[in-house]
Copies of this chain bind each other. A is one copy, B any other.
Amino acid sequence: MVKEAVVRDEPARQVADEDGSTPAERRRRARRGEGDRLRAEIVEAASELLAATGELSLRAVAREVGVAATSIYLHFRNLDELVLAVKTRYFAEFGKALDEAARLAGDEPLVRVRARALAYVRYGTEHPGRYHAMFTSEMLPPGMRSTAHFAGVEVFEAAADEVAAAMGPGEDAGMLAVHLWTALHGIVALRAARPNFPWPDLTREIDSLTGRLLGIG
């Protein structure tokens, strides 16, 4: 009722949008030195859109922010650059969530690994869009899929150290870390892809999995 029919690309002006927030108000033109404010708003909106829909279009972001589509080019050379910025953000947040979980778990190595593993799958299942964006191949044409896809290893490496600490010497910590990572990824990804399968309780599943992988009943 309140909204006018918006005919074209034109961003909403003084109209509150449907959830009651007023991006139009936020969208007062930045002052001289504050050009980066728009950049932050763009990344924020893109982040939410990618999380919600699993894909990102420049025009959708511009619409969300309440700005002309072209304005995005003031801060990003193209769509890929924006996507990269968003993913970087996700990885930082994800890594922080895992570290926090491990910190809260105390000193016992196995407990720490379990906490980290549970935090991993929790984050993945609670933020399927983000997780998808971070860890799902888009089947890029060969050539492109080399460098950029290596992001997120730090997360793995932190977990690998944890695993190494949780096990006796003489065991293949590298292989175990790989088992753990792939298993956790599989849990998250399959739950997203097959939401109707009768999956077990997540905590039980992680306890059972880590127990078996690390050789503890």
Interface residues of A (CB under 8 A from B): 53-55, 128-129, 132, 135-139, 145-147, 149-150, 152-153, 172, 174-175, 178-179, 181-187, 189-190, 192-197, 199-200, 204-205, 208-209, 212-213, 215
Contact A182 B175 (CB under 8 A): no
What's the number of copies of this chain in the assembled complex? 2
| Chain B residues, CB < 8 A from A55 | 139
| Chain B residues, CB < 8 A from A184 | 186
Do A182 and B183 contact each other (CB < 8 Å), given the known contacts A196-B146, A196-B149? yes
Contact B178 A139 (CB under 8 A): no
Q: A128-B139, A136-B193, A174-B200 are in contact. List 11 more A-B contacts (CB 8 A).
A: A129-B139, A137-B189, A139-B192, A146-B195, A147-B196, A150-B197, A152-B194, A172-B208, A182-B187, A183-B183, A186-B187
A145 to chain B, nearest CB (A): 6
Contact B190 A135 (CB under 8 A): yes
| Chain B residues, CB < 8 A from A153 | 197
Identify 27 residue pairs between A and B in the complex whose beta-carbon atoms are under 8 Å apart, listed by A's number. Answer: A54-B138, A54-B139, A55-B139, A128-B139, A129-B139, A132-B139, A135-B189, A136-B189, A139-B192, A145-B195, A146-B195, A147-B196, A149-B193, A149-B194, A150-B194, A153-B197, A175-B200, A179-B208, A181-B186, A182-B187, A184-B186, A185-B186, A185-B190, A186-B187, A212-B212, A212-B215, A213-B213
